[in-house]
């Protein structure tokens, strides 16, 4: 079939209307995305929409009208809530679902007893519907499963040769499809978020729910409130993963990935290949550019894409809803603790494991070094220590460490007070310097309350005798001193019970244990 590319002239719109009236297919711009239109009351025409898109036949279509009153013959009843929403948002990016009248066939409704109706705002769309002289069934004009087209060139890519005509009306204003709300149940429920937000809807009709599947994946046995929710969607050829993180953490993460592409916001400090989708705090710009960005990534040949997460409020909910489907629900959560904790009792050989991990290329954060750093150049902390333990622990502005140790380790109470000042500072410095999945090497990991900052914890363990020998040799101290130091710590079972992995270090092969654990963690 030869597909005509039409302009928005009176002549071309009239021609397009005629094509639809005769049972043909025309793609046209709306304020949301391009639609693929056919006469909604002509079953055969509607069937050919499903064929052109490769769309499953149980996924119903939206019926587009050009005047508010055109909804009346399509539904059983225009309820008061429907009327209120129409008055507030028609014409505009909102689709309302109501029980259908007998005039609406089963092909359009995908076999359901409801129908989705929308009155677009876009002038070209309205002129076309008027010219066609019938309600126009129109899904987004993409091949099923691909991102919805926001520009005529993407419609041409997907539909050329499969439909009668495409009206080139420039870029779409909103860039994500309409908000879909059902009024067919007890409580109004948003099935698909769009530019008309939950907040805007609630200000008109009060309590409105959001279908669970909007922001999460569907469970295997769940029946879709909207059939469109169960299908793979908006998926580019690349594998997309959403990275849930603040700007800087995201930047560090994506910049450390090889051969990856970033799908980020304008102004993000990204050194790998990137495509942007709008500005950080501007959800409308994100909505407008998202689908275009996904298609660009394909054009650039991206295989793996790390996307920066949008906010989920306002129109951001629509952006997130599309992005999470493009990512097949894959999210890396870097807000959750992302250290790999490495700890163990004194003399077990944690230091050796840490140096092997460093040689294997892991980013190691040595808590002891940070403690030294704090003592050397953090006047705020030194002042707090002085007010806690007395001014004579500071000599000429410098910390007398021996003196501090004497006082601080003289009682459990004092040790606690020292730790409560130093540990939080160490953790926050480590967080500042950490690359994702950095190893936090901390002898006092548990004591410092850092365990819940760790994604996984590895403890290095060795037999009592081995540890005793190592400590006395390493630190040149007596057996007695070594024993008292060992007894001040948690016992071995504590480490084992509170760790995800244990490395045994009595002469066993360390590298193979590390490799196995790291493979599992990564």
Residues contributing to the site for ligand TXA (CB under 6 A): 30, 32-33, 35, 59-62, 95, 97, 109, 112, 114-116, 118, 138-140, 177-178, 180, 191-192, 226-228
Shortest distance, position 100 Cβ to Mg ion, whole Å: 20
Q: Which of 172, 60, 36 is nearest to 116 (CA)?
A: 60
Residue number with CB closer to ligand TXA (28 or 253): 28
Q: How far is the CB of 328 from ligand TXA (least distance, A)?
A: 17
Backbone φ/ψ region at 23: left (φ over 0), alpha (ψ -120 to 50), beta: left
Q: State which residue, 140 or 226, has the beta carbon closest to Mg ion.
A: 140
Which residue minimizes CB distance to ligand TXA? 228
Helix (H) or strand (E) holding 273: strand 273-276
Closest separation in Å from C-beta 53 to ligand TXA? 9
CB of 216 to ligand TXA, least distance (A): 16
The residue among 142 and 189 lying less far from Mg ion, judged by its C-beta, is 142
How is residue 322 written in tokens?
A: 């599309």
Contact residues for 430 (Cβ-Cβ < 8 A; gap 6+): 339, 365, 367, 370, 438, 440
- Exposure letters 92-106 (e unless 16+ CB within 10 A, then b): bbbbbbbebeeebbe
- How far is the C-alpha of 479 from the C-alpha of 467, rounded, in Å? 11
Residue number, 59 or 276, with CB nearest to ligand TXA: 59
The DSSP call for residue 447 is T
Peptide bond connecting 386 to the previous residue in cis, omega within 30 degrees of 0: no
C-alpha 350 chain-centroid distance: 36
Interacting residue with Mg ion among 48, 109, 140, 321 (CB under 5 A) = 140
513 contact choice in ligand TXA, Mg ion, none (CB below 5 to 8 Å, kind-dependent): none
Nearest CB to ligand TXA, comparing residues 8 and 363: 8
Q: How far is the CB of 31 from ligand TXA (least distance, A)?
A: 8
Residue 308 site contact among Mg ion, ligand TXA, none (CB < 5 to 8 Å, cut-off depends on kind): none
User: Per residue in 339-378, is it b (16+ CB within 10 Å) or e — as a string?
Assistant: bbbbbbbbbbbbbebbebbeeeebbbbbbeebbeebbeeb
Instruction: Give the residue with the Cβ less far from ligand TXA, 32 or 354.
Output: 32
297 contact, one of Mg ion, ligand TXA, none, CB 5-8 Å limit per kind: none
Minimum distance, C-beta of residue 176 to ligand TXA, in the bound complex (Å): 8
Residues that bind Mg ion (CB under 5 A): 140
């Amino acid at each position: 079939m030869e597909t005509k590319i039409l302009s928005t002239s009176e002549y071309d719109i009239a021609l397009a209307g005629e094509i639809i009236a005769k049972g043909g297919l025309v793609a046209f711009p709306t304020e949301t995305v391009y639609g693929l239109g056919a006469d909604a009351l002509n079953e055969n025409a509607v069937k050919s929409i499903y064929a052109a898109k490769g769309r499953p036949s149980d996924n119903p279509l939206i019926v587009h009208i050009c005047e508010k009153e055109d909804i009346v013959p399509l539904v059983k009843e225009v309820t008061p809530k429907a009327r209120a929403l129409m008055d507030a948002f028609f014409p505009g990016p909102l689709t309302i679902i109501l029980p259908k009248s007998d005039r609406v066939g089963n092909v359009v409704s995908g076999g359901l007893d409801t129908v989705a109706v929308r009155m677009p705002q876009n002038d070209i769309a309205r002129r076309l519907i008027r010219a066609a002289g019938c309600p126009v069934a129109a899904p987004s004009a993409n091949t099923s499963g691909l991102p919805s087209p926001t520009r005529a060139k993407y419609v041409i890519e997907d539909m050329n040769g499969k439909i009668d005509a495409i009206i080139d009306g420039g870029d779409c204003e909103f860039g994500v499809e309409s908000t879909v709300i059902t009024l067919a149940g007890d409580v109004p429920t948003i099935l698909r978020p769009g530019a008309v937000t939950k907040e805007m809807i609630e200000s008109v009709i009060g309590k409105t729910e959001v279908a669970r599947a909007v922001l999460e994946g569907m469970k295997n046995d769940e029946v879709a409130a909207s059939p469109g929710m169960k299908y793979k969607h908006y998926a580019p050829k690349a594998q997309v993963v959403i990275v849930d993180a603040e700007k800087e953490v995201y930047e560090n993460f994506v910049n450390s990935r090889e051969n990856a592409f970033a799908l980020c916001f304008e102004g993000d400090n990204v050194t790998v290949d990137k495509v942007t989708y709008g500005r950080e705090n501007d959800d409308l710009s994100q909505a407008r550019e998202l689908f275009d960005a996904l298609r660009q990534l394909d054009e650039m040949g991206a295989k793996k894409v790390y996307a920066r997460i949008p906010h989920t409020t306002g129109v951001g909910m629509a952006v997130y809803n599309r992005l999470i489907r493009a990512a097949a629900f894959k999210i890396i959560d870097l807000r959750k603790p992302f250290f790999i904790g490495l700890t163990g009792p004194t003399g077990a050989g944690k230091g050796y494991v840490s140096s092997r991990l460093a040689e294997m290329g892991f980013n190691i954060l040595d808590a002891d070094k940070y403690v030294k750093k704090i003592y050397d150049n953090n006047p705020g902390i030194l002042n707090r220590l002085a007010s806690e333990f007395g001014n004579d622990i500071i000599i000429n502005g410098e910390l007398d460490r021996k003196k501090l140790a004497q006082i601080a380790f003289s009682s459990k109470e004092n040790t606690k007070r020292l730790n409560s000042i130093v540990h939080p500072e160490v953790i926050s410095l480590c967080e500042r310097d950490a690359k994702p999945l950095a190893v936090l090497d901390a002898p006092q990991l548990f004591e410092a309350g850092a365990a819940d900052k760790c994604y996984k914890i590895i403890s290095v363990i060795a037999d009592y005798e081995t540890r005793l020998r190592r400590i006395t040799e390493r630190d040149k101290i007596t057996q007695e001193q070594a024993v008292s130091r060992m007894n001040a710590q948690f016992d071995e079972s504590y480490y084992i019970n509170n760790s995800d992995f244990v490395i045994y270090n009595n002469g066993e092969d360390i590298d193979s244990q590390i490799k196995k654990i790291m493979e599992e963690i990564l």
